[in-house]
């Protein structure tokens, strides 16, 4: 085999690999964006109905769907321009190597402990709070517009940030890894019509960032002291302190294979027995 032949094979491998990587990150970001996921499902339903109508011989339905498929892409671009733009921005914010720091078991436990201690104080004192934990999708756009802190995470610091009359208490705290990156962050609010109208801006902002990214948003209501968590485009309202703790621990677990997960469980059991 000549040198040119080897180079052609390498070019083909790189070309195919780049296409698969592109598909992977596009699908990954679509999965994390609830609105885009619903949009794709709608398109798939239309295509399936078109195939079914052709198979059953429904001429009128098939003709209408042909027009829909022919002009649909242009209509989708116009109608869903904000969602498409958001998906592209999300793709640009994604960290190619995933989470910037993989926390150890001890670091995760300390992180959850400090957050829950702060949340417990806030709920008892009726102090509103919004704490957002970054995961694979970068929140750098929101961090850049907020007040930078880059401080070690402690429950005392979280409480002081959200304490009434503090200039930063109305915004959100963003946590990267086990450090507080910024305070006073502002997020887009959710337009979900199913959301209870009595819920305020904090809850809508929490759900809004959970719809656009894979972040975990934890909210303490200033009026009721109730705890809520928004994740994967859903808002889990009025959680107990233990439920919130367990949910954070579960969501912060690193993505591992089944064998690695079994190995980690065995290590935890061994440590508990000793």
Between CA 48 and CA 158 the distance in angstroms is 50
The tens digit of pLDDT for each residue in 141-181 reads: 899 889 998 899 999 999 999 998 888 888 899 999 889 99
Half-sphere exposure of 258 (CA within 13 A, CB side): 0
Instruction: For residue 245, give the nearest of 231, 261, 267, 229 by alpha carbon.
Output: 229
The tens digit of pLDDT for each residue in 250-261 reads: 998 876 544 455
**CA dist list (Å): 39 to 26, 90, 105, 175, 263:** 14, 16, 38, 30, 39
State residue 15's pLDDT score: 84
Contact between 80 and 202 (Cβ < 8 Å): no
Helix axis angle, 81-93 to 3-32, nearest 10°: 120
109-113, 192-196, 219-223, 231-235: the lowest-pLDDT one: 192-196
In the chain, what are the domain boundaries? 3-93, 105-252
State residue 212's pLDDT score: 85
State residue 161's pLDDT score: 94
Q: What percent of the chain has pLDDT over 70?
A: 78
Between CA 61 and CA 52 the distance in angstroms is 10
Helix axis angle, 59-79 to 34-56, nearest 10°: 160
The size of the chain, in residues, is 274
CB neighbour burial string for 67-86, b if at least 16 within 10 angstroms, e if fewer: eeeeebeeeeeeebeebbeb
State residue 133's pLDDT score: 95
The tens digit of pLDDT for each residue in 36-92 reads: 666 677 778 877 887 888 888 777 777 787 777 777 777 767 766 666 666 566 555
Q: What percent of the chain has pLDDT over 90?
A: 35
Average pLDDT of the chain to the nearest whole number: 80
Q: What CATH class is the domain 105-252?
A: alpha beta
Between CA 228 and CA 236 the distance in angstroms is 5
Contact between 134 and 175 (Cβ < 8 Å): yes
The better pLDDT of the pair 33, 220 is held by 220
The tens digit of pLDDT for each residue in 122-138 reads: 999 999 999 999 988 88
The better pLDDT of the pair 259, 245 is held by 245
Q: Per-residue pLDDT for 99 more than 70?
A: no
């Amino acid at each position: 085999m000549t040198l040119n032949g080897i180079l052609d094979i390498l070019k083909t491998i790189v070309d195919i690999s780049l296409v698969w990587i592109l598909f992977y990150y596009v699908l990954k970001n679509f999965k994390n964006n609830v609105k885009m996921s619903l949009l794709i499902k709608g398109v798939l339903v239309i295509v399936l109905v078109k195939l079914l109508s052709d198979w059953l011989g429904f001429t009128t339905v098939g003709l209408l769907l042909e027009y829909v498929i022919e002009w649909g892409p242009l209509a989708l671009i116009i109608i869903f321009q904000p969602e498409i733009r958001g998906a592209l921005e999300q793709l640009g914010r994604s960290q190619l190597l995933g989470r910037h720091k993989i926390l150890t078991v001890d670091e995760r436990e300390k992180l959850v402990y400090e957050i829950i201690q702060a949340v417990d104080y806030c709920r008892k004192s009726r102090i509103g709070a919004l704490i957002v934990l970054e995961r694979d999708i970068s929140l750098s756009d929101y961090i850049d517009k907020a007040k930078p802190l880059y401080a070690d995470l402690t429950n005392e610091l979280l409480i002081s940030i959200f304490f009434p009359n503090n200039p930063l208490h109305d915004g959100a705290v963003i946590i990267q890894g086990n450090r507080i990156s910024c305070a006073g962050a502002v997020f887009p609010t959710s337009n979900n019509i199913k959301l209870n109208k009595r819920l305020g801006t904090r809850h809508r902002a929490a759900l809004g960032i959970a719809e656009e990214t894979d972040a975990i948003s934890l909210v303490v209501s200033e009026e009721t002291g109730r705890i809520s968590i928004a994740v994967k485009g859903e808002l889990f309202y009025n959680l107990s302190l233990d439920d919130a703790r367990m949910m954070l621990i579960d969501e912060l677990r690193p993505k591992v294979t089944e064998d690695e997960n079994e190995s980690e469980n065995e290590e935890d059991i061994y440590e508990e027995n000793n």
